[in-house]
Amino acid sequence: MWIMVAGPYTSGGAGPALRAANLDAMNRAALALFERGHVPIIGVNMALPVIAVAGPDQFDRLMMPISLALAERCDACLRIGGASRGADDEVSRFHAAGKPVYFRLEDVPADGSTASPTSAANAASTTFSPIPQRNASS
């Protein structure tokens, strides 16, 4: 299956270090999906090179439209990390299309077939969390 990894990238006004940690978490999840026999897709990885060419002022115009277009092409979604409006919008696309949304890697079938996804109640068990943001006073 082609599985989109949906997780936070800029949520909460994340600075460069947290954005990098969030992207690393999505890429680690993508590697785990690949090792389970799937093709991982990350909208951020597709959009960032286009934004780099267009200019950073084009981020809002390009990021979510590219990512949501990719969601339409994927067979399932793995939702990782914490709060993220963009990731939730991606998940909504999968729900609307009746496609599986997984909240734990363990629930993604290893052979590329589809299986019943877990409920959102298990979302906190993901192991692909970014590095927690530190307080400026720490």
Query: Which pairs count as long-range contacts for 56-62, CB under 8 Å and 24+ apart, including other chains?
Result: none
Rounded to two decimals, the pTM is: 0.82
Please report where in the chains the tokens 């729900």 appear, as a residue: 95
Secondary structure percentages of the chain, helix, strand, coil, to 5? 50, 10, 40
Residue 2, CB-side half-sphere exposure with 13 Å CA sphere? 10
The pLDDT, as a whole number, for residue 117 is 52
Q: What is the distance between the alpha carbons of residues 77 and 28, in angstroms, rounded to a whole number? A: 15
What does the pLDDT read at residue 111? 75
pLDDT of residue 132: 41
pLDDT the model gives residue 3: 98
* Angle of CA points 93, 99, 104, to nearest 5°: 95
- Fold category of 2-9+16-125 in CATH: Rossmann fold (3.40.50)
Report which of 27, 36, 39, 42 is spatially closest to residue 107, judged by C-alpha positions: 36
Where do the structural domains in the chain lie, given as residue ranges? 2-9+16-125
Q: Tokens representing 70? A: 């990719």
Return per-residue pLDDT of the chain as tens, 138 residues: 999 999 999 986 768 999 999 999 999 999 999 999 999 999 999 999 999 999 999 999 999 999 999 999 999 999 999 999 999 999 999 999 999 999 999 999 987 565 555 444 333 344 555 444 433 333
H or E, element range at 49: helix 43-54
Which pLDDT value is given to residue 128?
59
Token couple for 44:
């951020």
